[in-house]
Amino acid sequence: MLNQIIEIVKKAGEIYRSAGDDLGICEKSSSVDLVTKYDKKIQDFLYTELKKVLPDAQLFGEEGDGNKELTDGYCFIIDPIDGTTNFIKGFQHSAISVGLAKDKELIIGVVLDPDLNNLYYAEKGKGAFLNGKPIHVSDCNIEKSLVLFGTCPYEHELAHKTFKLTEDVFYKAIEVRRGGSAALDICYIAAGKADLYYELIIRPWDWAGATLILHEAGGICTQVNGDELSLNKITSYVCGNEKNLKEFYEIYNAQ
Ligand code: IPD
Ligand code: CA
Ligand code: CA
Ligand code: CA
């Protein structure tokens, strides 16, 4: 099944790369919450093709038309383009993300960076891979960490809190980055390209696919206060390794 999903996600990457000048940009909840016709096109393609792999599976994607929440059985959790603003601007840092859950537990994760053609994937219990090579999280403490963070552009109060927290993190870590794709941020932690990532509000489709990859790469993730995550809830998110997460919780609790 993993290979079938990988092939489908690779084809979705071709749709992403076929985008011309007319992206068909529309506003959703506000002028900074954007969607393009490619988000919808890729989601429709994934829904149709993934349904052929598992006809009974539910479909739970960012751009609607599927299930509104997870129930038992199989469920695909899909972000057709994670990093829509980057896609619109040609910033070339976005992801196509598919997670498969069974009875609300992630069993497969596939995340494609279609600009660099980097494919991250994992199957429960079988390790995590980037383009066929095994990946692992780093073991850096915060002092040696490159830290990634996200901020939802239309949640200003939380953005303010995030920037305050990030100032404190910045002085303790090597450096901080805001890339604009939560799925890629988490995959970068899984691959040891960066060491810690957090965001104060995130939706399940942003993290589902990448989180199985992170787990299989030896990483840990929780809400920022240390509570467990749930695929049915909008929550905060932090991931890293045992050492830098412990130090992150201390910084967060001192806010
Ligand atoms: C967004 C990206 C961004 C994160 C936002 C998400 P979208 O997803 O993952 O990095 O900071 O919270 O909403 O809307 O581009 O799929
Ligand atoms: Ca969006
Ligand atoms: Ca997203
Ligand atoms: Ca999206």
Q: How far is the CA of 209 from the centre of ligand 4 (A)?
A: 13
The whole-number pLDDT of residue 65 equals 75
Among all bound ligands, the one having the nearest atom to the CA of 94 is 1
HSE-up of 77 (CA within 13 Å, CB side)? 31
pLDDT, tens digit (0-9, with 9 covering 90-100), for 89-139: 999 999 999 999 999 999 999 999 999 999 999 999 999 999 999 999 999
Beta pairing, strands 58-61 & 34-35: unpaired
What single letter denotes the amino acid at residue 18? S
CATH class (in words) of the domain with range 142-253? alpha beta
Q: Is the pLDDT of residue 222 over 80?
A: yes
Q: How far is the CA of 28 from the centre of ligand 2 (A)?
A: 8
Per-residue confidence band for 164, with pLDDT thresholds at 50, 70 and 90: very high
82 among known catalytic residues = yes
What residue ranges do the domains of the chain occupy? 2-134, 142-253
**ipTM field:** 0.98
Residues with CB under 6 A from ligand 1: 62, 79, 82-84, 150-152, 180-182, 199, 202, 206
pTM value is: 0.97
Q: Do domains 2-134 and 142-253 have the same CATH topology?
A: no
Higher pLDDT, 249 or 21: 249
In CATH, the number for domain 2-134 is: 3.30.540.10
156-172 helix and 242-253 helix, angle to the nearest 10 degrees: 120
